[in-house]
Amino acid sequence: MSEPPTVYVTREIPGVGLDRLRDRYEVVVREETLPPGRSEIEAAVADHDAEGLLCLLTDEIDAGVLDASSDLAVVSTYSVGYDHVDLEAAHERGIAVGHTPGVLTETTADFAWALLMMCARRTVEAHDHVEADAWETWEPTLLRGADVHDATLGIVGLGDIGTATARRGAGFGMDILYTSRSRKPDREAELEAVGLDATYVDLDELLAASDFVSLHVPLTDETDGLIGAAEFERMRDDAVLVNTARGEVVDTEALDEALEADRIARAGLDVTDPEPLPADHRLLRHAPEKLVVTPHIGSSSVETRGRMAEMAAANLEAGIEGEPLPNSALRDAGLE
């Protein structure tokens, strides 16, 4: 009887995803909690003659890794983002690439709102205030924040998560501005159905008019450093910036300067550059008054992380069996 194909998994993932793979394949799971370097992945894929590689967004999957096993048929990333995978190289080699879109849309939009509310209503500072035993009485001006209701929400990138984030603005009576590579009539109709009139504007106009700017673009050459010094200059000085997309979309040094000079009021970041952000990073001197940072947990609900694992396993299985992937990153990136 022939050996079952080997699948290399760079870190333990939750839920039934791995059990499902174990029923059919030889599954090798790396046990460390910190990410492997690219050479470790390359060596492991080669040593195990892996046919499938299940990776995370912290793993760099380049041509060297893709060439490490001549049997490698599929790379399945446990993430919607695939900026860490060299898609062109995979496509050239006929290696399928899977990702997990859709399933984390609403959970990530919830989290963009968590950051927005934390920044607007200064909840981290407020909690610290109580914990520091500074709550002496009700005070007329204590921790005044910004109103969210009736404010203008600027969405940069009206894809699935951007639209889901905008949709939540309906409950707050917000005005929605959005910018995207092109106008999105379907998305506008989706938002109109919940009573939102979403207006397509260019980035400059959006930055100048929005109380809250929420970023929802994938990381590409075009969006790397999209929000830099010039963009902060255009923003309102009472504006809040929320980033649940990728850290590199915001120029960290420019953000640091913008917060220092009160060019914007606050920023809420779930993603950073560098990531992870070390505790002694300069940027953190603005926290918590002007800055809230969370450790890239936008999609981290029990249910969503479990469903992501199932999707990643399903993509992997399809790739090994030579079937079309339920969620192909190559297809979604326009490469197939």
* Residues designated catalytic: 246, 275, 296
Cβ proximity of 59 and 36 under 8 Å: yes
Pure H helices in 168-271? 185-192, 203-209, 229-234, 252-260
- Tell me how far, at minimum, the Cβ of 196 lies from ligand DGY, in Å: 25
Contact positions with ligand DGY (CB under 6 A) in 84-123: 104
Q: State both tokens at 75.
A: 């790379």
Contact positions with ligand DGY (CB under 6 A) in 72-91: 79-81
- Tell me how far, at minimum, the Cβ of 150 lies from ligand DGY, in Å: 30
**Closer CB to ligand DGY, residue 199 or residue 300?**
300
**Closer CB to ligand DGY, residue 57 or residue 148?**
57
Which run of H or of E encompasses 101? none
- Tell me how far, at minimum, the Cβ of 323 lies from ligand DGY, in Å: 23
Contacting residues for 282 by C-beta, under 8 A, at least 6 apart: 256
Closest CA to 74 of 14, 6, 13, 125: 6
**Closer CB to ligand DGY, residue 57 or residue 207?**
57
Burial of 320 (0-12, 13-18, 19+ CB in 10 A): buried
- Tell me how far, at minimum, the Cβ of 189 lies from ligand DGY, in Å: 26
**Closer CB to ligand DGY, residue 109 or residue 239?**
109
- Looking up tokens 């195990």 gives 48
- Tell me how far, at minimum, the Cβ of 271 lies from ligand DGY, in Å: 7
Task: Examine residue 35 and tell whether it contacts ligand DGY (CB under 6 A).
Answer: no
Cβ proximity of 198 and 178 under 8 Å: yes
**Closer CB to ligand DGY, residue 267 or residue 271?**
271
Return d(Cα 102, Cα 97) in angstroms, integer: 16
- Tell me how far, at minimum, the Cβ of 308 lies from ligand DGY, in Å: 7
Provide long-range contacts, Cβ within 8 A and 24+ apart, for 107-110.
Answer: 107/298, 107/299, 107/300, 107/301, 107/303, 107/304, 108/161, 108/164, 108/244, 108/298, 108/299, 109/161, 109/164, 109/165, 109/167, 109/168, 110/168, 110/301
Residue from 299, 315, 327, 328 that binds ligand DGY (CB under 6 A)?
299
Residue from 21, 27, 54, 57 that binds ligand DGY (CB under 6 A)?
57
Contact positions with ligand DGY (CB under 6 A) in 13-32: none
Other CB atoms within 10 A of residue 172 CB: 15
- Tell me how far, at minimum, the Cβ of 305 lies from ligand DGY, in Å: 8
**Closer CB to ligand DGY, residue 288 or residue 298?**
298
- Compute CA 47 distance to the chain's CA centroid, rounded to the nearest angstrom: 32
Return d(Cα 83, Cα 63) in angstroms, integer: 14
**Closer CB to ligand DGY, residue 104 or residue 318?**
104
Please work out the total of residues on this chain that contact ligand DGY, with binding judged by CB under 6 A: 7
CA triple 92-28-11, angle to 5 deg: 80
Residues that bind ligand DGY (CB under 6 A): 57, 79-81, 104, 298-299
